[in-house]
Structure 1
Amino acid sequence: MAVAELVWDMDGTLLDSTAVVPAAFVRAVARLGGQPVSPAQAVAAYPVGTPEAILAHLVGRPLGPHETDVYYQELHGAEVAPYPGIVETLAALRERGRAVAVFTGASTRGARMLLDAAGLTVDVLIGGDHVRRPKPAGDGVLLAAERLKVAPGAVAYIGDSPLDLRAAAAAGSVGAAAAWGHLYDAQEPADYALARPEAALGLLR
């Protein structure tokens, strides 16, 4: 089936948030009295799910809503930028009449904070709080296809992490590796490996 719509991961794919997101977790854990964690430990916890779930995992105990707010307080005001070529690629998508769609494991709240900080607007945003199962389950990709009104097989999900590519496969969608992202692993199976964002436009038929 031809690719009709692109769906993007956010962290490490649209946004170079390599430093700011783990740093926010590190500071939040310290404020909440948890054992010190490193940025690498925060990144390793990403598969746990939403920021709320990651933070509780890192702190080592259940957290109340006012405690999970600490992460967002630390994330507020973060300076984050799109990767080179992203702004132009998203503009080209819209010129073709395609939606700019994002599925991220981050919460919708956190995603909006980072996208706003980077000056990006999206048409469809699905956060980790919109799905029951986090990546590598395909739930978020399936929901994106539903909202875009296309079959899952007509979606290409673009992400830097192996979890992104596994989520695409689980949904029956095309998996495109964002080779510019910080979690890119050339050994992870993908339908396509994209060297730069604008290459994604070539997936559309």
Structure 2
Amino acid sequence: MTAPRQPALFDLDGVLLDSAAAVRATLAAVATCALGRRVTPGDLPPGALRRPRCEVLAFLDVADPDDACDRWWDGAASAIPVETFPGVLSGLLALRAQGTAIGAVTVQDPERVRWLLPGALSDLLEVVVTRQDAPPKPAPDGLHLALRRLDVPPERAVFVGDSPTDMTAARAAGVVALGAVWGWHPPAALRAAGADHLLLEPASIGLSLLHHLPLIDSA
């Protein structure tokens, strides 16, 4: 009998995509449009990437952050290219070569994902679950949906994320929670949220990731 595939699920921003500078620039651009004066990434509050975008815009005195995001977020974000972290694509290719099923669970909207993902990364993802497909993390629903689409049970899976909500979702979904410390949140926050292991660099997304996957009986 062929052994079932083991799945590795990933968050996008801060894990596969080096999008921190792009998000800061987008926040500044939206605030500039809403306020009618120039706002730069240097004007953002400390920890801006770890705070909801509407909270950051409110800090900058944007009167209606939700409306501002609806009007200008996608246009601003689409003008700023985002690349994968060094080593991510080669690591995912190595995992695929070992038969690992690869998917992503993100809070991004599906339309945004279509132009956000570099083509080489999009080609490697067998499934992408967005906020419109399932309730966003920390709810485990998106992870469960991705695993159903890959036709694998949660006890065979890992989820790599960079936020406490990612770790909470992974634990609630019954998968191994791996914290990416190169992302937007400090290691202590990931451990406090229940990370089973911490990954120290993007190059950890490769064959070494398989050491954290639950063992599978091939019988």
TM-score interval, smaller chain: 0.7 to 0.9
**1:37-77 deviations in Å (ceiling 9; x for gaps):** 7164642334xxxxxxx45984553756x961511110113
Runs ≥4 residues deviating over 6 A: 34-37
1:138 Cα shift? 1.1
Q: Distance in 2 between matches of 1:162 and 1:93?
A: 25
Code of the aligned partner of 1:141:
L
Matching of residue 197 in structure 1 with residue 202 in structure 2: no
Q: Quick one: which of 29, 32, 35 aligns to 2:31?
A: 29
**1:4-38 deviations in Å (ceiling 9; x for gaps):** 21000111100111110132122113313499771
Aligned length: 194
Question: Greater CA radius of gyration, 1 or 2?
Answer: 2
Counterpart contact for 2:134–2:142, Cα < 8 Å: yes
What TM-score results when the alignment is normalised by the length of structure 1? 0.80
**What is the identity percentage for the equivalent residue pairs of Structure 1 and Structure 2?**
32
- Sort the Cα spacing of 1:88 and 1:39 in 2 relative to 1 into closer, same or farther, 3 A: farther
> What's 2:144 paired with?
142
1:161-176 superposed matches below 5 A: 161-176=163-178
Q: Distance in 1 between matches of 2:5 and 2:92?
A: 16
1:148-187 superposed matches below 5 A: 148-186=150-188, 187=191
What TM-score results when the alignment is normalised by the length of structure 2? 0.75
Q: Quick one: which of 115, 129, 144 aligns to 2:132?
A: 129
1:153 Cα shift? 2.2
Q: Distance in 2 between matches of 1:60 and 1:119?
A: 39
Give the root-mean-square deviation of aligned CA atoms.
2.9
Code of the aligned partner of 1:31:
C
Provide structure 1 residue ranges, at least 5 long, that are not aligned to the other structure: 47-53
